[in-house]
Amino acid sequence: MQDLFFQSEMKSPIGVLKLYASETHLLRVSMEQEKLTAAAKKLQKTPHKRIELLRFAEKELNLYFRKKLDHFTVPIALAGTPFQQSVWKQLQKISFGELRNYQAHAKSIRKESAVRAVSTAIGTNPISIIVPCHRVIGKNGSLTGFAGGLEAKQWLLEHEGHQIRNEMLL
């Protein structure tokens, strides 16, 4: 039996978000600026149907954007290598308003010498915002890399209480 996948779109303060899900788990949150992977392009062919799980994910995201939610509970499924999954699992432990640099994130998964690999894995996070890769910044306080673009990353960090000027944390 073939798995069924569904998608929906929602407007947000950082642009249109595309959400993809199976019947039981959120699989991807994509932003307009994002370059899509082969897996994401395959998901784009899924039917637009706002199943209950997608409505729940949209509700939680809307609450987050209105500062009424700081922890997501929508069920997610992260498809990736064991290394990527360890990086993404650790991202989920970064609380609303908390920041971490790439080196500290590598250290948190006991891969201190693999900062570039950790950075690459963060950059391929399929469930932006909900798996908060935007909370990882450069060691010097710079806003480095974000699939949705640095403007979106800055908006999300300011939304969570940080002050930023010229793509640098103050």
| Cα 101 to Cα 140: distance, rounded to the nearest angstrom | 8
Question: How many CB atoms within 10 Å of residue 5?
Answer: 18
Task: Sort 154 into a burial class: Cβ within 10 Å, 0-12 / 13-18 / 19+.
Answer: buried
Tell me if residue 119 falls in helix, strand or coil: helix
Residues 47, 53, 59, 65, Cα dihedral to 10° = -80
Tell me if residue 15 falls in helix, strand or coil: strand
51, 133, 156, 157: the active-site residue: 133
Largest CA distance in the chain: 53
Specify whether 138 is catalytic.
no
Name the token pair of 8: 């929906």
Q: Catalytic residue positions? A: 133
